[in-house]
Amino acid sequence: MEIMEAIKTRRSIGIVKQDPVPKEIIEQIIEAGTYAPNHHRTEPWRFFVLTGEGRNKLGHVFEEITRIENADDTPESLISKLERQKKNPLRAPVIIAVGIEPSDKNNVLVAEEYAAVNSAIQNMLLAAHSLGLGAVWRTGKITYHEKVRDFFRLSSKGEVLAFIYLGFPDMEPKPAKKTPIDQLTTWIG
């Protein structure tokens, strides 16, 4: 697949089959992430692959966070939220959690470390698409909770920036609606 085709046809695929994804394909996707631009070559990205029971372990973390964050809810409302959060990681056979560990070096800007990891995530999404997989980049408030950081044993400066849910597509994505570039671009000569 040519790069421009991959960029223009990649979509978030939130519904995937539960069929296993070969380890070699997952490794290719992670490797693509490591080719992202990275000022000072600090390689601030960290990758965590969750399959099988690993997804349930993450679900228990989500459930615990939800219990803490919604302690004032009615019991019925809380039970519903707990069940939903506990099951969320089971939506795909593979989740790649992408974390950041920013460098301590004085010449390194933290914003550039985040930019590098976000670029790695985009590379991974494009790689997944080119390899015939469906993927969606999920975040939300729960992603940045200290219990998630602790689950992945990231430092106090580190955090998770993405949960990439991966699998073989089980849906047809809608065509993208994009604003024409002339409405978003200013040429300065």
Rounded CA-CA distance 46/178 in Å is: 31
Q: Is 145 known as a binding-site position? A: no
Residue 10 marked ligand-binding: yes
Taken as a whole, the chain contains a residue count of: 189
Asked whether 46 and 98 are in contact (CB, 8 A), the reply is yes
Judge whether 117 and 40 are in contact, CB under 8 Å: no
- The reply to whether 91 sits in an annotated binding site is no
Q: Does the annotation place 41 within a ligand binding site? A: no
Q: SS3 of 159, please? A: strand
Q: Is 149 annotated as a binding residue?
A: no
Q: What is the DSSP letter of 89?
A: G
Task: Report whether 80 belongs to an annotated binding site.
Answer: no
187 is an annotated ligand-binding site residue: no
**What 3-state DSSP class applies to 69?**
helix
Binding residues for FMN: 10-12, 39, 137-139
Binding residues: 10-12, 39, 137-139
